Amino acid sequence: MMQSSILSITIIALIFVSQTVFSAMPEKPVFLPYTSNHQIVSEAIGETYQLWVSLPLKYAENPDVRYPVVYLLDADIHFGTVRDVFISYKWGNHVPEAIIVGIAYGRSIHNWENGRSRDFTPTMTESMEGSGGAPVFLEFLQTKIIPLIDRTYRTNPDDRTLIGMSLGGLFATYVLFEAPDLFNRFLISSPYLLGGDSAVFRFEEEYAKTHDDLPKRIFVSVASLENEAFHQSMTELEQRLSKHTYPSLFLKTRVFRDETHPSVFPFALTHGIRFLFADTVEPKS
């Protein structure tokens, strides 16, 4: 009888706590300070995208300053991390003040995965239904997203960075060769470049035939505990870029020890942006 009473009291207490927690949950989404949200529709893709924009903390106080822009793929899971790291690193003068633009789907993770499989793959792959939409997504990025950001904010169109991980890293590598004038800096984390018959390397070969320089800063990394295909992808990309001896290319690769595919992105970010922006700042001691 005593045990039954204790069990009943415990259940009632749990119900009360759960009701209190749920009643305390906000009815509306909470947004980060100094950020704004835009919706932009691609009729060609049939998708409404969210653009999450973080402005420098003193953006309003400096009306004559134009800022570099960092474009982030997979913003649904990485936007807060990237935004906070840039603020922290600016205090140490490791990076310049920048506008962060996260390209997000803003929906359930299942549908979000379907969207990125479509948008970030340059060619169709049998294992990915709906893949091969990177050319259409790239055109949307070029003609709609970037012009919207440039019209709305005080940007420096000569200083753009693209951050992509995994399939986002594949797309970033594709953009590097297919639209070489679009971005100056690339953070490519754990790219899988061997799918679709390694089509991205065919884009690299075409670029090399008509260009004798690649004036970019590129940081490519993988995790030591990732599948070997990710390591092969980075090695192949590094070897191809290095053999051309592009005079204005600054390339750095890194293997992060004891990290996995899900855990490596924060390390790629914190190390990568310091390298990518090393030409623009002098870090504090």
The string of pLDDT tens digits covering residues 160-214 is: 999 999 999 999 999 999 999 999 999 999 999 987 678 899 999 999 999 999 9
Measured at the alpha carbon of residue 81, what is the angle toward residues 134 and 90, in degrees to the nearest 5? 110
CA–CA separation, 226 and 74 (whole Å): 19
pLDDT digits (tens, 9 = 90+) for 50-79: 999 999 988 999 999 999 999 999 999 999
For the chain, give the mean pLDDT: 88
Amino acid 18: pLDDT: 40
**Could you tell me which of 248, 164, 253, 252 has the C-alpha nearest to residue 200?**
164
Beta partners for residue 251, in sequence order? 218
**How do the domains of the chain map onto residue ranges?**
29-276
pLDDT of residue 5 exceeding 60, the answer is no
Other Cβ atoms less than 10 A from the Cβ of 107: the count is 14
Q: Which residues contact 16 (CB under 8 A, 6 or more apart)?
A: none
Judge contact between 54 and 32, C-beta under 8 A.
Answer: yes
Tell me whether strands 185-189 and 217-223 are parallel, antiparallel or unpaired: parallel
Residue where the block lists tokens 């999450």? 52
CA–CA separation, 265 and 102 (whole Å): 15
pLDDT of residue 10 exceeding 50, the answer is no
CATH topology of domain 29-276: Rossmann fold (3.40.50)
Burial class (CB in 10 A: 0-12, 13-18, 19+), 1: exposed
197 or 20: whose pLDDT is higher?
197
